[in-house]
Amino acid sequence: MAVVSQHNHNNIMSSLVQLRKGTEDAPLFLFSGGDGNPHGLTALASRMRNIRTMTGVDFCRRDNHGQLPSTVEIMADRSCSALRTLQPHGPYHIVGYSFGGLVAIEVARLLRESGEEIALLGLIDTLFDHRFWPMRIFLRSQARLIRRHLSILLRLPLNQMIPTLFDRSQRLFFRFVRRQMPSSLTISTPKVETETAIKQQHCITVMSNYRPKYYASKITFLDADNHDDYGCTPAELWQGMAAEIECWTISGTHVGIVTNNASLTDLAAALDSKLEEPLACATYE
């Protein structure tokens, strides 16, 4: 059996941040969005009534050599070690928002592969890169976006219509071109200086290279009802990529679902409801 040094143990544990104290042994592990900030879902944790401890996971933490994790799978592997240090065995309760949902699903996969039970895997408005969308969903989503943008364009004055049409056409063209790019892709990004901005740009690049895989258990989706910028909902996008999909719709936008007061209240209530459900007997392949 491998021996974990005190230094490594402390380094692993420091990637976990208590967002709210609780009384139950099994915490709710929360993975925030693409800025990698473990405090990103503090507002959500503070609104929940469930008595579990709410723990944020710093999945985009630099290693001992100062390097950021280069893939979602590496982020998940390190996060999984941190979770098991705090809670050695399941059932686990895991929730991820946006990019953090991709890390969360890979953590859940690793835990299941080791024989642990996942009581809740919740993805809050989690999408993945356009390059890996099923073609039928991609085409359907682009058709919806074209119809919506045309209806907006027709209401604009001519001096605004032409530049807006040019901008939207460029974006549409780029989305189709990107689908032909190789699966290993490095996106050039503007030079940034703050650590927060560096991590955010890093997560964008990591997300662009993540190809989702089938998850052989249940995923609970908590999706914003406004996806005008995407043309489809996350639950629609992930359809067929999990053994079971459950969807809750929360009023709001992708960003607003974790920042808007009304959306946060509805989201917290939905998660409280899920955490109160009796635990089902798990089966493993």
Per-residue pLDDT of the chain (285 residues), as tens digits, is 344 444 455 555 578 999 999 987 789 999 999 988 999 999 999 999 999 999 999 999 999 899 999 999 999 999 999 999 999 998 999 999 999 999 999 999 999 999 999 999 999 999 999 889 888 888 888 787 877 777 777 777 878 777 877 777 777 677 777 777 665 555 455 566 788 899 999 999 999 999 999 999 999 999 999 877 778 889 889 988 999 999 999 999 999 999 999 999 999 999 999 999 876 544 333
**Whether residues 97 and 48 fall in one domain:** yes
Which structural domain, as residue segments, surrounds residue 91?
6-128+212-275
- In angstroms, rounded to a whole number, what is the distance separating the alpha carbons of residues 146 and 209? 26
| pLDDT value of position 185 | 53
Residue 205 lies in a domain: no
How many C-beta atoms surround the C-beta of residue 44 within 10 A?
A: 26
| pLDDT value of position 15 | 87
Q: What CATH number does residue 110 fall under? A: 3.40.50.1820
Residue 14, SS3 per DSSP: coil
Q: How far is CA 273 from CA 124, 221, 268, 278, in A?
A: 15, 13, 9, 10
Distance of CA 143 to the CA centre of its chain: 25
Token pair in block for residue 53: 């401890």
| pLDDT value of position 43 | 96
**Whether residues 114 and 243 fall in one domain:** yes
**Whether residues 140 and 80 fall in one domain:** no
- In angstroms, rounded to a whole number, what is the distance separating the alpha carbons of residues 81 and 191? 32
**Whether residues 167 and 48 fall in one domain:** no
**Whether residues 217 and 107 fall in one domain:** yes
| pLDDT value of position 193 | 77
Residue 69 lies in a domain: yes
Residue 283 lies in a domain: no
Residue 240 lies in a domain: yes
Residue 100: Cβ-neighbour burial (10 angstroms; 0-12, 13-18, 19+):
buried
Residue 27 lies in a domain: yes
**Whether residues 23 and 111 fall in one domain:** yes
**Whether residues 241 and 220 fall in one domain:** yes
**Whether residues 93 and 164 fall in one domain:** no
Residue pair 283/216 in contact (Cβ under 8 Å)? The answer is no
**Whether residues 218 and 112 fall in one domain:** yes
HEC readout, 183-229: CCCCCCCCCCCCHHHHHHHHHHHHHHCCCCCCEEEEEEEEEECCCCC
**Whether residues 161 and 57 fall in one domain:** no
Residue 164 lies in a domain: yes
- In angstroms, rounded to a whole number, what is the distance separating the alpha carbons of residues 14 and 78? 12
Residue 271 lies in a domain: yes
Of the CA atoms within 13 Å of residue 15, those in its CB half-sphere come to 29
Strand order in the sheet with 16-20: 16-20, 52-57, 24-31, 92-97, 118-124, 215-224, 242-250
Residue 280 lies in a domain: no
Structurally, the chain folds into a number of domains equal to: 2
**Whether residues 50 and 102 fall in one domain:** yes
- The CA-CA-CA angle for residues 126, 129, 131, to 5°, reads 145
- In angstroms, rounded to a whole number, what is the distance separating the alpha carbons of residues 267 and 262? 9
Whether the CA torsion 98, 186, 188, 228 is positive or negative: it is: negative
Residue 61, SS3 per DSSP: coil
Q: In the chain, which ranges are continuous DSSP H helix?
A: 6-13, 42-47, 72-86, 99-113, 135-153, 158-178, 195-208, 234-238, 261-275
**Integer-rounded Cα radius of gyration of the chain:** 20
| pLDDT value of position 24 | 73
**Whether residues 38 and 91 fall in one domain:** yes
| pLDDT value of position 186 | 53
